A = this chain, B = another copy of it.
């Protein structure tokens, strides 16, 4: 090996860590573990049979073109269909406002690349999606976390932070928000809260990065407007993805923003992977027009609602006192708070012995907070597994409490 390989790596690489979640996923792939750890959609939700017909159609109708290099911006038909779908959200977009990304992780990565210099400030929820935190960190950002209340990101705290930054001559590059069924907290921002965040972005002259992977998986209650829809001056960059509402294995997402931001994003994407797989874009477009998409989405929503309900029923039944949880109106996750003395990381080690897994919540906090929190995914496991897993989890927590009392 070359001498001192590790001294050759870039400063950025020095800060890279393996994703705690993805490493944990490997551990929990033992077949007898019931895993609430990942953020995986239910494999039962994938339209395997429908895709068979659609793939054959795409190959027969545009085989060579679908296997060739494509434009960096993405398949025009797919982009037009996405723009059409956004009309019902009140968005009036043109092609130059929307680019296809290799799922929204690439959106997070390249938005970071085009905006962040080392030391730049990014404001995010505390807790927040780990893939976002990793992307911002990988370009040397300084993260400031804002806590939540039940209405969303706390704007009193956000105001204080923005004000203090301004007094120090600093403007954050953007505020990272997941307004619907936030990962990991499971909280949905109210319409009023969304407006307040947007007003603060205007007042303090910064951008909002709206990450919206779960929006269409709403079980109940009124949809609140997208941040992008509330804004009339392109202060919002929105990330969308098919990962949770179609299939994650295609890696297709998109970015909606002012055309000058999209233009810069396209340049960054040319260097990152030239284009997103053309064949899969064409299959996704065909799937959208086939009518299967909307039908399957309703099936997903119904199934996840049922899973959430079963899980919450189980919690009510089996969880010892002193444990609380969010009851999300949609999405894939709920967030659990353990007694303040209980360390989720330690609990996890015992839980794996009891053949149940989750993510210790502290990984979602940029400030090492949330030591007594856990994130629970309810979409991936089957209904039966969810019921069984809840009982195992309750048992482990109960044991831990008894052990604590001595």
Interface residues of A (CB under 8 A from B): 1-3, 5-6, 8-13, 16-19, 22, 26, 38, 40-41, 43-44, 46, 48, 51-52, 55-56, 59-60, 63-72, 102-103, 105-106, 108-109, 113-117, 120, 131, 134-135, 138-139, 173, 205-207, 233-235, 243, 247-251, 258, 260-261, 264, 266-268, 270-280
Contact = CB atoms under 8 A, between A and B. Distances in A.
Given A5-B260, A43-B64, A273 B273 contact: yes
B46 A67 contact: yes
A40 B56 contact: no
Nearest to A236: B2
Contacts of A109: 271-273
A68 B52 contact: no
Given A52-B60, A67-B250, A279-B280, 7 more contacts: A1-B258, A9-B114, A10-B113, A10-B116, A22-B270, A52-B56, A109-B272
A273 B106 contact: yes
A274 to B, nearest CB: 5
A3 B205 contact: yes
B105 A9 contact: no
B272 A105 contact: yes
Nearest to A43: B64
A40 to B, nearest CB: 6
Which of A13, A46, A243 has most B Cβ within 10 Å? Answer: A13
A304 to B, nearest CB: 16
A279 B267 contact: no
A71 B24 CA distance: 12
Given A273-B251, A277-B250, A278-B249, A268 B16 contact: yes
29 contacts: A1-B234, A2-B206, A2-B258, A3-B205, A10-B113, A10-B139, A11-B117, A12-B114, A13-B115, A16-B268, A18-B267, A22-B270, A46-B68, A52-B59, A67-B250, A68-B248, A68-B249, A69-B248, A70-B249, A105-B273, A108-B271, A131-B270, A131-B271, A131-B274, A135-B271, A251-B275, A251-B277, A273-B273, A280-B280
A267 B206 CA distance: 30
A273 B67 contact: no
B63 A48 contact: yes
A18 B247 contact: no
